[in-house]
């Protein structure tokens, strides 16, 4: 083991970074920069435009799963809608506290928006027991007034996404963008397939994979894009 602040030999797998020396004291920004360079190299040629790739690359960075390059689905208006929602100070609603915790809230708040999650509210729990539904389902119901013009991000519960789709179809919920990344074996893939049938801005993926970390990575990529656009003006 080298002394603190020293270096160690590192043999990266799969023809990783071209250097054979890894600094023990690399800071988070350096690690992220190197990670993105590795992803760009291993991803090879692709057809994503720069904004879409910045989102997909962050999904890969979060999961180490290049499969998202094939499974991700973008509505044509999704990125523009998400950036607009963030820059105009609209809320981001999440289906889990884990997802909310992963969002760059300080950056979001600079635009005037908040990251909200109602899954733990006592009223949500009581309503779900009375109605015989899930808390995720009821949290969507209680979030309607908070999501108007904003972003609803689902990273766990298919029941949340299914209820949100139902309310959007009935014109009772009016977010600007839906991020659909529920994970699991029961209705995860099916709910995402239904989302892609909507003529409504969405970002999602095909199949069972997903999760709060993936949904948070997409939110954060959109926040960074919003910051970059602000910086250009």
111 vs 104: CA distance, rounded Å: 12
Residue in 61, 75, 137, 146 annotated catalytic: 61
- Do 186 and 160 touch, CB atoms closer than 8 A? no
Strand partners, 8: 22
DSSP-assigned states of every residue in 117-176 = --TT-HHHHHHHHHHT--HHHHHHHHHHHHHTTSEEEESS-HHHHHHHHHHHHTT----S
177 vs 193: CA distance, rounded Å: 16
Q: Is 11 helix (H, G, I), strand (E, B) or coil?
A: coil
For residue 95, the 8-state DSSP code is S
Q: Find the helix or strand (DSSP H, E) in which 28 lies.
A: helix 28-43
C-alpha count within 13 angstroms, C-beta hemisphere, residue 44: 1
Confirm whether 61 is a catalytic residue: yes
Which residues are catalytic, by number? 61
């Amino acid at each position: 083991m080298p002394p603190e602040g020293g270096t160690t030999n590192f043999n990266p797998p799969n023809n990783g970074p071209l250097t054979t020396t890894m600094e023990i004291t690399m800071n988070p920004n350096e690690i992220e920069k190197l990670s993105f360079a590795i992803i760009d190299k291993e991803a090879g040629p692709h057809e994503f435009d720069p904004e879409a790739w910045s989102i997909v690359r962050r999904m890969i960075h979060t999961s180490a799963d290049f499969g998202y390059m094939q499974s991700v689905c973008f509505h044509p208006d999704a990125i523009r809608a998400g950036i607009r929602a963030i820059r105009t100070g609209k809320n981001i609603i999440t289906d889990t506290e884990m997802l909310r915790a992963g969002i760059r809230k300080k950056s979001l708040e600079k635009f005037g928006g908040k990251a909200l999650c109602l899954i733990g509210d006592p009223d949500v729990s009581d309503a779900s027991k009375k109605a015989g539904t899930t808390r995720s389902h009821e949290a969507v119901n209680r979030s309607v007034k908070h999501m108007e013009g904003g972003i609803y991000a689902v990273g766990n519960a298919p029941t949340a996404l299914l209820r949100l789709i139902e309310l959007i179809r009935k014109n009772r919920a009016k977010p600007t963008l839906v991020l659909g990344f529920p994970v699991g074996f029961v209705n995860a893939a099916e709910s995402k397939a239904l989302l892609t049938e909507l003529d409504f801005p969405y970002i999602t993926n095909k199949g069972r994979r997903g999760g709060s970390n993936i949904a948070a990575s997409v939110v954060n990529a959109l926040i960074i894009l919003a910051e970059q656009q602000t910086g250009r003006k």
